[in-house]
Amino acid sequence: MGQKRLKKMLVTGAAGGIGRAIRTKLAPLADIVRLSDRAGLGQAAPHEEIVYCELTEKDSVDNMVAGCDGIVHLGGQSVEADWETVRDSNIEGMYNLYEAARKHKVGRIFFASSNHVIGYYPQSQLLDAQTPPRPDGLYGVSKAFGEALASLYHDKFGIETAIVRIGSCFPEPVDHRMLATWLADDDLISLLECMFEASRLGCPVIYGMSDNDVVWWDNSQVAYLGWKPKHSSAIFKEMLDAKIERPHKDAAVSVYQGGVFTEHPIMEKKPN
């Protein structure tokens, strides 16, 4: 990576799975990395700041964003849940974040959207950046809202956002579906480098996947960013074949890009 682009980069959801995986690799992207979550961030390294924040608390979000010139938004509800939980974290929280970004003139944001925005498409169909949403649950609906909000704030206020429909960012694929959706954390870091260094970003939809042999998604429309993933899930195929029986061809995990998320019921909020 060349000269650092950012003076202070905010990372929301830094205590989550992806946040923990990439935390130690973020230093080259910014002079200061401000980490935020509800809890669980431990001690700050010399180049880090820690700010605890609830995304639903507008004033706290405003304070969290103040002084930052780039945002990596990983925060929010990360799996299917009841409507109230999804709405509060991924809709109200997303609005609060973009309003704070507008007020504090943050020019560029990485938004961790999800493959569950397009989860009801069949695995046999190749999707690109122009493919309309077909969410597979309330979580996917909330991410589709986030994509629309990012588009609005780009068109109306000029805030550039990389809308990244993340596949499966794990140390290695844990099932055969992930042979298509796997995103290595090093490839995610290289995407962050590309999107923050690009002279022009805009508001593109990017599929968050490594250079896998099984391909459901086409990123050719964002070739201008120069992002070239270097890892592939192919090295895990033999291990998965030996460890896990392939699911039946008619099972949801074999038919739909969103896998088992298409089978989840609409959840109701549990009483306190």
In 3D, which of 219, 140, 150 has the Cα closest to residue 187?
A: 219
Taking the CB of residue 58, how many other CB atoms lie within 10 A of it? Answer: 16
Residue 96 burial (C-beta neighbours within 10 Å; 0-12, 13-18, 19+): buried
Distances 217 to 67, 180, 236, 252 between C-alpha atoms, Å: 36, 9, 20, 18
The answer to whether residues 258 and 180 touch, using CB atoms and an 8 Å cutoff, is: no
Whether 139 is a known active-site residue: answer yes
DSSP state of 241: H
Q: What is the SS3 assignment for 100-162?
A: HHHHCCCCEEEEEEEHHHHCCCECCCCECCCCCCCCCCHHHHHHHHHHHHHHHHHHHHCCEEE
In 3D, which of 18, 132, 135, 148 has the Cα closest to residue 94?
A: 148
The answer to whether residues 186 and 131 touch, using CB atoms and an 8 Å cutoff, is: no
Choice among 139, 153, 207, 256 that is catalytic:
139
Distance CA 30, CA 49 (A): 12
Query: Where is 51: in which H helix or E strand?
Result: strand 48-52
Token match 């998604």: residue?
217
Q: Which residue numbers are catalytic?
A: 139
